[in-house]
Amino acid sequence: MKTLLALLALSGGSHAFAPAAVPRQNSPISTTTRNAPNTHLQMNIPTPTASGGATPEEIKSAANNEPPPSSFFELQRASVRAAQQAISDGQTLLEIEFPPLPAQVLEMDDVSAYDVAKANVNLALDFAKSFTNTEEIDGDVAVMLPDESECNIMLEDLKVGEKPYPGVQLTSLRRGEEGDTRIFKPENVFIGLMGRGSGGTVKPIDGVGMYVIVVASAQELPDVEELYDQIKNEGEEDGKKSPVIVFYNLKLDVLRGDLGAPAFPGKDFQDRFLSRVKPVYYLRTRQYSRSISQPPFILNYQGCLFRSYPGHFQTLLDTGTGRYRKVVGNDIRPALGEFKEQLTDALREEGAIAKKEEEGALFGFLRTGYKTTTWWEEEREDASLEWRT
């Protein structure tokens, strides 16, 4: 199983990041790619960079039209490039989000949460290697799991040391005092359940300029805020670059939904901290079904929301041929309901579903409902717009 996961992840082609295949008989969608960029033609065109003499306008224009990656190798290069550009622009809280395994692997019954976590750690280590000895950060890169026990299990399973590569550390957010060899630390359990901070067990690491956070839950996100509060002024105090924190494949959209529940951080955590995290490389696929008045009566369609900084958020419709067609670009990240409606409007234009006027206002309202946004997608007085721009 482990060999299969590795081979599929390394050899994932153009379908690696596409949603699961939809039966053709249920998808009478035109597969035309008019107005869509030709991915294969663009692959050999160098991406404009500041070091190559490109202007900010040229860099943004290229990012606006960048297609989703066709392999994990291409994805790693693109995510590193987007992060480098964001750091150069002064961003210090970054989000990178994409499926860590090919779609067909994620749907296998025997793929566990630990398999996904292990894939994320491997990808994060490769990402970290790209920032050692670079001008974007000062110091090493630390890939951090939530606590020491998880870190020790991962080190043993990956058969690597605490420094798997030069300039890269694999460690944890919560670390005990030197000499504390206890395996079970009950105080950490109670601190975590109460959600009242780490009790002083979260500390910066000397000589580290980038922290890559992996496999953290909503209950563990306040530890990241605690780390940020300790390092946010480091660059100003010693004249070096400010340390950077990367939220790596944490599915922040899912974790935000837990905020406010018992034993979880309150909703103010989104306003105070998570809303300041900039999505610099973001690829999330979505699948939908819709009833129609003609055979086969059920239309399955799918698309993805894609962003490569400093480009805008692209709403992309899966054409059914393993490629995506760009529907619209959004400077402000669309809410999930708005994203679905953008895909639906594209299908209306293709004639796959009825026009709004043919469907009727009442029927359209019954489909979408009164509320089409989640609480964190709404305008909130104390929240930053960084997470949406």
Q: What is the pLDDT of residue 27?
A: 40
How do 298-308 and 313-318 pair as beta strands? antiparallel
Residues across the chain: 389
Token look-up 């400093």 returns: 310
28 pLDDT above the threshold of 80: no
Interval 336-347: pLDDT, tens: 889 988 988 888
Query: What pTM was computed for the model?
Result: 0.84
Interval 117-132: pLDDT, tens: 999 999 999 999 999 9
**Of 247-256, 274-283, 316-325, 364-373, which gets the smallest average pLDDT?**
364-373
Residue 200 burial class via C-beta count within 10 angstroms: exposed 0-12, middle 13-18, buried 19 and up? exposed
Interval 315-340: pLDDT, tens: 999 988 878 999 999 999 999 889 98
**Of 76-80, 111-115, 179-183, 248-252, which gets the smallest average pLDDT?**
179-183
CA 344 from centroid of its chain's CA atoms: 24
How many Å apart are CA 220 and CA 151, to the nearest integer? 14
Q: In the chain, what is the greatest distance between 2 CA atoms, to the nearest angstrom?
A: 72
